[in-house]
Structure 1
Amino acid sequence: MMYTPAQRWVALAYGLVSHTLFLAAVGVMFVSLYEGLHLSLLHLHGWAAAVGDVILVLQFGLGHSLLLSDQGRRWLARMAPLGLGRELSTTVFAGLASLQLLITFLLWSSSKVLWAAPEGWVKGGLSVLYGISWLLLAKSMSDAGLDVQVGSIGWHSVWRGHAPVFRPFARTGLFRYSRQPIYSSFTLILWTAPVWTPDHLLIAMLWTLYCVGAPVWKEKRYLRFYGQAYARYQAVVPYWFPGRKGRDMSFPTEPSIPAVHDAEVIVIGGGPVGMALACLLGGRGVRVLVVEKRGALPSHSQAIGITPPTLAILSELGLDEAFIGQGLPIHDCHVHGESGALGIASFRQIPGQYPFILSLPQQISMRLLADKLALYPSVKMLRGVEVVSVEQTGDAVTVGLKDEAGVITIRSAAYAVGCDGHRSRVRDLLRMRSRRYDYGHHFVMGDFQDRTALGGEAHLFFTAQGAVESFPLPGGLRRWIVQTKQPEAEPPAGFISEVVRMRSGHIIAPEDQVNQSAFSPWRLDCEQLYDGRVILCGDAAHVMSPIGGQGMNTGFADAEFAALMLHAILRQGQQAGPWLAEYDRCRRKASNTAATRAALGMGLGTWRGKGMSWLRDRLLRHLILRGPMAGIVGPWFAMMTIPFNRAAKSRFVATYMTGNCTEKSQPESRLAFQEESQG
């Protein structure tokens, strides 16, 4: 979405005013409460002072709630010119709320009565508690989304040229323990300020009542908007006081009985990660239903790099040799710069039986996985169906599927796993909260008949005009990826060939080009990788730059962990809670590391200009490729040093795998007997 210069400058002005008011309100409130509300610009006396102070207290609470109501939101949408009302509504709200706080404390009429003003260590202790309360408020606001809380999401989005994107409700951080940590932290601030006066008591009592009662209306609005997703959250997390309540419906004390459902696990998404997960579960005898929107396997190449940890996972399925037989092992990556050859990132010294990165187009990987999937009698695949609903009960997940004729059927399982890619419908239906970042880099890639002398190795060309990457493919092909200054939706014929010639000196004929596509990398991280009985895997859980090929491999590691976890829960009676928490911890740590590394590698390679190219050449030649870091570059890019690149690197999983886990609640033999007794 494009905004005019006038709109962008108006948005910036609104942001400056709003943030100035916010900072002023925080400063005045901090000092005024700490001093017992003795500081004021207005000096009323007697009943006039009492009535005025009560009005000041009420105007903040009532005004705050009114602006958050449906009518208030409509008013906010009218408070910005040039058609920016909707975009700047959060900015306006933050500014008005800050102004209300400023009015309250600056116009407060002090009673001049002092009840308690502790000194020495007592004052020091209370001051520490007061400071901690403010830190808790800051943490709560950050967990909820600081950009929304301070109003920056509105003006900043307009300034950057796109409409604001609001994320679903928070359920991580302090929101794991209380549904209203902002209100409870705000209340804690009111009661930990060290100086006590009648004024302090009045504002603390009235605003505490507001902080306890007002969120009820907010939660009704959330239930109306988020539906079952927020109801599940309410069932687990207490309203106001931190803790846990009840029993999470995702943590059954008894394993689900497979016979009562269509499957034990529904895997949503039949891409490489979804099929790998289904194969790993099928190999353990788990009944799996895979549902896929596409009617057939893709015919074009996407991801190509398969790392040693992924090959080790595939070896559990007996597929590593098949993948290697169809692919092309890359042992070295040659790096070139403006000043010539800079060095080699070698994978030859990687320990284990896979000292290389395997180049294999994704459509071949998917065909091999599909062939393997067909061998498992406990696994079924449904193609040409789209997920339209995901509902949960205490012991099941029901998934609504719409076929190509528009007919909707309902399938049930004990658990469901969303492996449906970066546009995940499952993630959207669950209202899972995520963070997105656009890198601002742009690329065009194409596969060519390889008539160069580059052989079976990868080559990277980093120039002042931009980067060129080149990777060998099976079947006599080579992939070329060129960096562009702007997005190129439809590059002209011969575009890649010309850019490659100018930057690398290699001649690739346009008529040898097989395909072409453009992409602009971005990153997405889900704040939580499960909700109830639904788990996210692969790009549905995390999206990272495809430069470096770490995304699909991270997804395979997700699948390995998820398969172990679901088998332990469903077939060996393990408690779901600890497993899901460990999956969330390990896989978010792994994906965050992989995404950060992919971004760092892409960032270094995309430096443009003579000065930055000169600096990059020196870094690569003298520090990274030939200097003290030379020995770690290969394993680094091969994902050998990613934390939890194998599930067994989790101590929790390793303990389970060695048979020492003490969480077992029901022997496998009992579950097997139940399965047999139900036919």
Structure 2
Amino acid sequence: MEKFDCAIVGGGMVGAATALSLSQLGLTVALIEKYQPKDFAPEQDFDLRVSAISLASQHLLEQLNAWQQIARWRVCPYRRLGVWELQSSYTEFNADEINQTHLGHIVENRLIQLSLWQQIEKTPRVKLMCPDAVISFEQNEDCLALTLESEKQLQVKVLIAADGANSQIRQKAGIGLTGWDYAQDAMLINVKTETSQQDITWQQFFPTGPVAMLPMPGKHASLVWYHQKQELARLSQLTNEQLTNEINQHFPPRLGQVQVVDKGAFSLTRRHANQYVKGRVILLGDAAHTINPLAGQGVNLGFKDVKALQTVFAKAIGEGQAWHASDTLANYEKARRYDNLLMMSTMDAFYSAFSNDNPLLKAVRNFGLMAANKAPLLKSKALAYACGV
């Protein structure tokens, strides 16, 4: 039986970042993942799955020595964020307002994971077990015993679930959820653009859901089209040429002419675990919470979880306490639960406010956007919070 301080199930962005973060504290880590990310080549098309990486998330990736490689591959920085429903209510957030050079970067999820894996391969304290999965585990008073698909037996002090929204570890641990499915779905669309690389990401709201543009390197962009489930099912069946025509009809003129390269649709759900810690099982990232993607905060919340767990463990180790004690694990949940809930509730408020076609509510929300432009202090504070600075 192999012994480790921690076992992490899920080697995606959050799980891989957790493995490296905890190894920096001197802990030994088993990282268990079913699938290996595909290698990168510059000539590859852009992946559909991208993230708006905040400044705080960038700083974490720099700390883990992963950002440097990501930046050498391909990223797109953005300095501005535009939001509007009516053109008269257009509101723009700018990096200058918080004394930063940029607000964040649009990055393909796979490249983040791949760079983290490259660092893991250089880290003797992390053992990557791929392909593999946890079949069962048993919690004892001072450890957990894990059985893997490979028939390996592991003994660890804590088991960390970073295995996504449908977390098997969360289910096996008996941790419940609260949440719901939203009435809308979302479509991700990779396009070639007539305009050169832009430094702005924008979102226009409609009663049927917003449309958004995320800039990508070169003459490319990632579009997000929120709509009712039935309409997105129809759009998903269109050819790329037909979908291009639909985009040109329904997206704002500032997008310019585009050509669809790839597309895919996914459902929108809100899920929040009833607890982040149960015994020696800890939930991070989507295993603990999934959020409406309106502001692109999903993976950034996951990286905040990673940083909080590292900070809590480091404090306990520094004070000569047991980093795996129940009180220490509880401090992680205290550090993250309220912040995650606040961001989830804020996104739900935006979703509810802008998905209603009531004329009075429409006037109120557009007035609110216009008022934001006239309250620079409040605007900059909200922007700094979203960026994690």
- On whether the aligned pair clears a TM of 0.5, the verdict is yes
1:458 deviation in Å? 1.0
Name the SS for the 1:480 alignment partner: strand
Letter in 1 for 2:216: L
1:426 deviation in Å? 0.5
Q: Which is greater in Rg?
A: 1
Q: Distance in 1 between matches of 2:209 and 2:316?
A: 50
- Seen in structure 2, the aligned counterparts of structure 1 residues 503 and 315 have a Cα distance that, compared at 3 Å, is closer
Name the SS for the 2:301 alignment partner: helix
Q: Is 1:309 the equivalent of 2:69?
A: no
- Seen in structure 2, the aligned counterparts of structure 1 residues 290 and 513 have a Cα distance that, compared at 3 Å, is same
Which residue matches 1:350? 98
Contact (CA 8 Å) 1:463, 1:613: kept in 2 or not?
Answer: no
1:345 deviation in Å? 1.8
Which residue matches 1:535? 282
Q: Is 1:633 the equivalent of 2:374?
A: no
Q: Distance in 2 between matches of 1:465 and 1:288?
A: 45
Letter in 1 for 2:60: I
Q: Distance in 1 between matches of 2:244 and 2:377?
A: 33
Letter in 1 for 2:333: D
Contact (CA 8 Å) 1:357, 1:638: kept in 2 or not?
Answer: no
Contact (CA 8 Å) 1:529, 1:541: kept in 2 or not?
Answer: yes
Q: Distance in 2 between matches of 1:354 and 1:431?
A: 45
Which residue matches 1:495? 243
- Which residue of 587, 592, 601 maps to 2:336? 587
Q: Is 1:618 the equivalent of 2:367?
A: yes
Q: Is 1:337 the equivalent of 2:85?
A: yes
- Which residue of 140, 147, 162 maps to 1:400? 147
Which residue matches 2:128? 381
- Seen in structure 2, the aligned counterparts of structure 1 residues 497 and 294 have a Cα distance that, compared at 3 Å, is farther
Cα shift readout 1:267-322 (whole Å, capped 9, x = no counterpart): 11001000001111222332111001224349833241111222222232234444
Cα shift readout 1:409-459 (whole Å, capped 9, x = no counterpart): 322212111000101000000010221122322222211112236822112
1:585 deviation in Å? 1.2
- Which residue of 109, 119, 124 maps to 1:372? 119
Q: Distance in 1 between matches of 2:164 and 2:19?
A: 16
Which residue matches 1:445? 188
Tell me the matched-pair count. Answer: 374
- Seen in structure 2, the aligned counterparts of structure 1 residues 632 and 302 have a Cα distance that, compared at 3 Å, is farther
- Seen in structure 2, the aligned counterparts of structure 1 residues 279 and 481 have a Cα distance that, compared at 3 Å, is same
Q: Is 1:563 the equivalent of 2:295?
A: no
Which residue matches 2:6? 265
Where is the strand percentage greater, Structure 1 or Structure 2? 2
- Which residue of 345, 349, 352 maps to 1:596? 345
Q: Distance in 2 between matches of 1:453 and 1:475?
A: 6
1:335 deviation in Å? 2.8
- Seen in structure 2, the aligned counterparts of structure 1 residues 527 and 466 have a Cα distance that, compared at 3 Å, is closer
Contact (CA 8 Å) 1:338, 1:463: kept in 2 or not?
Answer: no
Alignment of 1:122-201 (within 5 A): none
Alignment of 1:220-259 (within 5 A): none
Which residue matches 1:363? 110
1:543 deviation in Å? 1.1
1:393 deviation in Å? 1.1
- Seen in structure 2, the aligned counterparts of structure 1 residues 356 and 436 have a Cα distance that, compared at 3 Å, is same
Contact (CA 8 Å) 2:208, 2:355: kept in 1 or not?
Answer: no
Contact (CA 8 Å) 1:308, 1:640: kept in 2 or not?
Answer: no
Larger relative contact order (Cα-Cα within 8 Å, sequence gap ≥ 6): 2
Alignment of 1:473-552 (within 5 A): 473-487=216-230, 488-489=232-233, 490-493=236-239, 494-495=242-243, 497-505=245-253, 506-509=255-258, 512-552=259-299
- Seen in structure 2, the aligned counterparts of structure 1 residues 590 and 341 have a Cα distance that, compared at 3 Å, is closer
Q: Distance in 2 between matches of 1:372 and 1:495?
A: 40
Contact (CA 8 Å) 1:497, 1:508: kept in 2 or not?
Answer: no
What's the TM-score once normalised by structure 2's chain length?
0.86
Letter in 1 for 2:369: L
Q: Is 1:417 the equivalent of 2:167?
A: no
- Seen in structure 2, the aligned counterparts of structure 1 residues 453 and 336 have a Cα distance that, compared at 3 Å, is farther
Q: Is 1:574 the equivalent of 2:321?
A: yes
1:567 deviation in Å? 5.0
Letter in 2 for 1:291: I
1:520 deviation in Å? 2.8
- Which residue of 5, 8, 21 maps to 1:280? 21
Q: Distance in 2 between matches of 1:593 and 1:311?
A: 22
- Seen in structure 2, the aligned counterparts of structure 1 residues 640 and 443 have a Cα distance that, compared at 3 Å, is closer
What's the TM-score once normalised by structure 1's chain length?
0.51
- Seen in structure 2, the aligned counterparts of structure 1 residues 551 and 465 have a Cα distance that, compared at 3 Å, is closer
Structure 1: runs of 5+ lacking an equivalent: 1-259, 647-679
Letter in 1 for 2:243: F
Letter in 2 for 1:411: L
Q: Distance in 1 between matches of 2:208 and 2:339?
A: 33
- Which residue of 292, 301, 318 maps to 2:33? 292
Name the SS for the 2:293 alignment partner: coil
1:573 deviation in Å? 4.3
Name the SS for the 2:294 alignment partner: coil
Cα shift readout 1:316-359 (whole Å, capped 9, x = no counterpart): 223444445532221111234334561212232225x6641221
Contact (CA 8 Å) 1:464, 1:609: kept in 2 or not?
Answer: no
1:607 deviation in Å? 3.9
Contact (CA 8 Å) 2:189, 2:261: kept in 1 or not?
Answer: yes
Name the SS for the 1:309 alignment partner: helix
- Seen in structure 2, the aligned counterparts of structure 1 residues 605 and 519 have a Cα distance that, compared at 3 Å, is farther
Contact (CA 8 Å) 1:283, 1:376: kept in 2 or not?
Answer: no
Letter in 2 for 1:546: P
Q: Distance in 1 between matches of 2:357 and 2:300?
A: 29
1:634 deviation in Å? 5.0
Alignment of 1:434-473 (within 5 A): 434-452=177-195, 455-463=198-206, 466-473=209-216
Contact (CA 8 Å) 2:284, 2:306: kept in 1 or not?
Answer: yes
Q: Distance in 2 between matches of 1:338 and 1:380?
A: 53
- Seen in structure 2, the aligned counterparts of structure 1 residues 611 and 495 have a Cα distance that, compared at 3 Å, is farther
Letter in 2 for 1:616: R
Cα shift readout 1:550-588 (whole Å, capped 9, x = no counterpart): 111111111122233345557874142321121111111
Where is the helix percentage greater, Structure 1 or Structure 2? 1
1:473 deviation in Å? 1.5
- Seen in structure 2, the aligned counterparts of structure 1 residues 366 and 577 have a Cα distance that, compared at 3 Å, is same
Give me the CA root mean square deviation.
2.8
Letter in 1 for 2:141: G
Letter in 2 for 1:272: M
Q: Distance in 2 between matches of 1:602 and 1:354?
A: 29
Which residue matches 1:180? none
Q: Distance in 2 between matches of 1:463 and 1:558?
A: 32
